[in-house]
Each structure stands twice: as C-alpha cells, then as structure tokens.
Chains A and B, each alone.
Chain A
Amino acid sequence: MPNSPETRTEARRLRDLFAAMGAQVVKADVLQSADTLLDLYGEDIRARAYLTSDPLRGEMVLRPDFTVPVVQMHMESQADPARYTYSGKVFRKQETDESRANEYVQVGFEVFDGRDPARADAEVFASIADALGSLPVQAATGDIGLLKAAVEGLQTTDARKSALVRHIWRPRRFRNLLNRYAGKLPPPATRVALLGNPDPFADAGPEIGLRSRAEVEARIDALRADAAAPHISGEELGLIDAILRLHETTPNVLVELGDIAVDMPSIQAAVDRMSARTDALAARGVDVNGLSFEGSYGRTSLEYYDGFVFGFTAVDRPDMPPIATGGRYDALTAQLGRGRAVPAVGGVIRPDLVLEVAQC
C-alpha cells in the first residue's frame, strides 16, 4: 500500500494542490550526505535512517525527509519569500514495529516567508487541513517556542536555562534537571564529595584523551557556581508544569496562558504570537474553538521544530502514525544557513495513510 499506483496518484493530486496554491515543485536526491544530518541530530539519526557508505563521498543517507535538502536548496537560491512542494519517498528504519512502513511517500508544503509568521503558520496548517478535506481526522497543536520562552524566563542562571532548553526534546532529562535545580532531587553524592574536596585532582590518574585538564577544571567551576545558585522556586516549577500539562481547546489554553503570563511575564510575547496565529487560523476558516492544544506536543520528535507544531491523526486509530505533521523550524535554517536564518514553516502528508483512512 505505501507504494501502490493509487498512492502515487494521490501523491500527485496533493502535490498539484499545493502547486496550485503557488508552491514551486522541487525535487531532492534520494542519497544525501550523512554529515549534515549527523551533525544536526547525532546518533539518533542512525536508529531512524538508513546510512550507507560511498567509497568517494563517505557516509551517505537515504533521505529520511525532505526538509533538510529543501532548506539547503532554499538557502542557496536566496529567493524570498518562497513556497515549495514536493512528493517522493522517504526511508525510515523501524526498529520496534515491523508493521510500520520503512519507505513511504511524503508530500510536503514549505513556506519561507518572514513577513508575517502567524499568517505563514496558519497558511501551512490550513492548506494541509484543506488537502485532507473531509477525512475523519483530528488535529493536535503545540508550541515549542512557548516552552522555550518559559524556560528562558526562569529566575535562575543562564547555564541552567541553556541546559534545560537543550533538553526540551528529551522530557526525562529535562524533568531530572528541573527537579535538581529546584532542589527536589539531591545532587549525586559523588558530586557533593567532589565539590567538598580541596584537591580534586589528587587521585585523578593519568591525563589521557582530548578533553584537557582545563576543561575538567572549567566544569568543576561550573558545578561550584551551580551549587551556589539558589533553587528554582516551587512557584516557577509549578508554572512550567502548568504549561507542560496544558491540554485543552485553543481558546481555553489562551485564557490559561494569560493567567500564567501574569506570574511569568517572559512568555507574554510567545502568548501574543499564539494569539495572532489563532486569529490567522480563524481567518483561514479553521475551527479554532475546537482545535486542541497540548503543552508537551512535539517534544519527542526530532529536534528541529522550535515554534508552532501540529499533527493530524485518524479518529479512533491510535495504532496509525500521524497522517500529516508539521511545524516551524527557524533554528534549522539558521544552522544550515551558517548564520543566515530564514523563518520557515512546513508540513507533510502521507498519501498512503490518506487512502487508508478514506477506505475505513
């Protein structure tokens, strides 16, 4: 089914739909250089993508998605604003569930337009919702930017904030760090011993490897500074939890966030952005009163979405992967553009799943 003639026809239909909305049709190589992806995502990509080696080009990867090559292409073309659509196979290793397809078609719609991010978010979401038509699907949304703003507004050290932001996509370590900074989790005994030791290098053993003594000393200094920093307050911890726990319709979430922002003004700008996006979605005909928002949505996917995130799943089919997903990835363009960033938002649809749901 993922690769049947019907799927190809549906993929063509969807791509033509996006092209009719003004998107330029683009293509990408199946084999991509692995370096970029490894640098962006690290080892996790090996568990998710097929890596292979080329005798001259080194490690290559069967494209696990189109986003990275499309961003690279866009950064070279320098067109602005730009809209792209594509249709083609992507390849994903399935290490736990053999019933999930390891190659399937994705049809994408990507918008590089920084003039009005709220409107661009709404455009991508609404275009995908329109393309799915009357299928029995439900949408979920979230906003990684909101969580980032909440962390950055904490009354604590910059080192702690950047450690937390770095782990937004790893909920378990994020929670551990938060509990430690709040004093709810005691520091490991060995760390207490280290900081109490007047001569930590007494039994250090031989200095081997690339990580130098100076780097170890710098980390000890950082640990000392951290131990001296006051705990994150219970109130602030409660506010972060309140944001993570949000799971309501968009208007109700906006009301709650308005309350949270009174105690945590740092999220006000993110709440305003969400509010503007909600208006833009309503203007595009999306039923925002019924649109679900989850504070933790998008935290377990690959870490390139850093703002609005969304997904469409089939109603009553929790076994099925999402039919469409997407989000904003401004930071990815900054990383791939070597300093030059372009606000970008996009989404993909799986035509094979569209057909499967349509048949139910």
Chain B
Amino acid sequence: MLKFGVPSKGRLMEKTFDWFGARGITLRKSGSEREYAGAVDGIDGVELVLLSAGEIPRELAAGNIHLGVTGSDLVREKLANWNSRVAELAPMGFGGADLIIAVPQAWVDVDTLDDLDAAAAAFRKTHGFRLRIATKYHRLVREFLRENGVADYQLVDSQGATEGTVKNETAEAIADITSTGETLRANGLKILSDGMIHASQATLFRGRREGWTNAQRSSLKTLQERLRIS
C-alpha cells in the first residue's frame, strides 16, 4: 500500500482535495468526518492518511508515509539535508507564504541584512546581549543569517503571536511567515528588503527511503501519469 499523507484539517486540506479533484483524482475521507483516514478513488493501492502538516516531513523522512502534501517551509525547517530525504514532485500553487525577517518601522536606519548586522553589533555593545530575533523557524533562519554573514544576534523561540514579541520587548526583530504583511504592519513592523528567507507553498513530496515494493512504485507511477508530473 502506498501511504499518502495530507493535512488533516483546514484550508490546506480543502485546497489539497480541490487540487487533486481538478486533476481528476478524488480524495475522500472514509467513514465519519472525524476519522483521520481516507481513500484515493481511481488509483489502486493508495491509502490516504490524514495528519498534521507539521508532522508530514518527519513521517516522510522516516518512511512511515510515502507521499505527502505539506508546506515547503516545513520540510526545510524540520529536515536536515531535506533534499536527500524527500523529493519535490509538484509545487501546488496554494498555501503561499513568505518566511521573512521583519524589524520595527521605527528603525529607519535598517532596510537590509547589512543594516541588521551593523545594528546587531551596536545593540550588543549597548545592551550587553545579542539582538534577539523571535521565530519558530530556527534552522532556516540560522542558515540564512549564517550564509549572509549576520552576527551578534540570537534566536528566541516563539511558537505563535510572534509579531507581538517586539512590542512586549521579548525580542528586537522577528522571522516569521506572512502572506500579505497586514499583521506585521499592524504591529509596527516592516520587512527587510533582502530578508526573504524562503517563499513557501504547499508542495507534493515523496520520501526517498529505499525499500519500496513494486506495487508501491507502480501506484506512484500511475498517480504521476494521471497528474502529468514526473
């Protein structure tokens, strides 16, 4: 059986069902609305598994599911060396959100990473600790800032309401996903012009674990043909 993980609730689930429906493949939940299992009509040997989008990367990497739909940001954040462990089959064009770095609008002197780095150096000297950036995307943000040579910062964990951390003085800047920037502006923040870390969207992934059966391979092939993706 080819196990196919899709987000278990909300818009991401609905849009996933719509995306496959538009390509002639009907995904449906089996049994009651509350059951987290389902089926794929028209292709044999595929079992739908509904689970949290945040867990899909891990389950793909572990080989517990073979295919999965989740945000490309989540795969990059949760899997070290992500492209050796999963492969992108198709970007799906919805669930778009940008992982960005934002600072207070009042920082009129800061617009680029170069500015952020200089501000961080001065901040550390003045305040005696590293400039704090609140985020839940630790790996992505750290790698991005390292590649771009930004120093004298520290990441502080924020699992929600990240835009409020600056006002609450638990962070000086944030790294978070945004689609319209509305919440950022409402909280007195602005996006760095070169602070785009990753443009995320919902994406169909396959796991790279070895040991697939012939039946699983053939189910995947059929699915790919029907979706016209390779």
Interchain CB contact under 8 A, A188 and B111: yes
Question: 1/0 contact trace for B93-135 toward A, CB 8 Å?
Answer: 0000000000011111111101101110111001100110000
Give B142-157 interface residues, CB cut-off 8 Å to A. 142-143, 145-155
Instruction: List A contacts of B122 (CB < 8 A).
Output: 215, 218-219, 222
Q: Contact partner of A208 among B111, B154, B188, CB < 8 A?
A: B188
CB-CB under 8 A from B123, the residues of chain A are 211, 215
Q: Chain B residues near A166 (CB, 8 Å)?
A: 121, 151
Q: Which of B169-214 contact A (CB under 8 A)?
A: 169, 171-172, 187-188, 190, 193
Given A209-B104, A210-B127, A190-B188 contact (CB < 8 Å): no
Asked if residues B149 and A167 are in contact (CB atoms below 8 Å), the reply is yes
Q: Does A27 contact B (CB under 8 A)?
A: no
* B-contacting 9-mer, from A3-11, A197-205, A315-323, A335-343: A197-205
Residues of A close to B126: CB separation below 8 A:
215
Interface size class of B (residues with CB under 8 A): 35 or more
In the assembled complex, how far is the CB of residue A98 from the closest CB belonging to chain B, in whole angstroms? 7
Q: Is B65 interfacial (CB 8 A cutoff)?
A: no
Which of A191, A209, A210, A218 neighbours the largest number of chain B CB atoms within 10 Å of its CB?
A209
Interchain Cβ contacts within 8 Å, total number:
120
Contact A210 B169 (CB under 8 A): yes
Residues of A near B81 (CB, < 8 A) are: 95-96, 98
Contact with B114, one of A47, A171, A188, A201 (Cβ below 8 angstroms): A188
Among residues of B, the one whose C-beta sits closest to the C-beta of A44 is B146
* In the complex with contacts A96-B80, A218-B122, A208-B167 CB distance below 8 A: yes
A124-176 interface with B by 8 A CB criterion: 163, 166-167, 170-174, 176
Q: At the interface, yes or no: B138 with Cβ under 8 Å from chain A?
A: yes
Across the interface, A209 reaches (CB within 8 A) one of B147, B155, B169, namely B169
For B123, the closest partner residue in chain A by CB is A211
- Bound together, the chains give a CA A317 to CA B121 distance in angstroms of 39
Could you tell me if A213 and B151 are in contact, using CB atoms closer than 8 angstroms? no
A46 near B: Cβ within 8 Å? yes
Question: Which residues of chain B are near A302, meaning CB under 8 Å?
Answer: none
Name the CB-closest residue of A to B146: A44
Whether A211 contacts B119 in the complex (CB less than 8 A), given A96-B81, A167-B151, A190-B193, comes out as yes
A220 part of interface (Cβ distance < 8 Å): yes
Whole-angstrom distance between the alpha carbons of A170 and B147 in the complex?
9
B109, B119, B142, B193 interface centre (most CB from chain A within 10 Å)? B109
Report Cα–Cα, A273/B6, bound state, in Å: 64
Q: Which of A42, A191, A201 has the largest number of chain B CB atoms within 10 A?
A: A42
Most buried by B among A38, A167, A173, A207: A173
A216 close to chain B: CB less than 8 A? yes
* Residues of B bordering A, CB below 8 Å: 80-81, 104-112, 114-115, 117-119, 121-123, 126-127, 130-131, 138-139, 142-143, 145-155, 166-167, 169, 171-172, 187-188, 190, 193
Contacts A42-B152, A173-B149, A216-B108 known; 12 new A-B pairs at CB < 8 A: A43-B153, A46-B155, A166-B121, A167-B149, A172-B147, A173-B117, A188-B112, A203-B105, A211-B104, A211-B119, A211-B172, A219-B122
18 A-B contacts (beta carbon < 8 Å): A43-B145, A43-B146, A163-B118, A163-B121, A173-B114, A173-B149, A176-B114, A191-B111, A191-B112, A194-B111, A205-B104, A209-B106, A209-B166, A209-B171, A210-B127, A211-B131, A215-B122, A218-B122
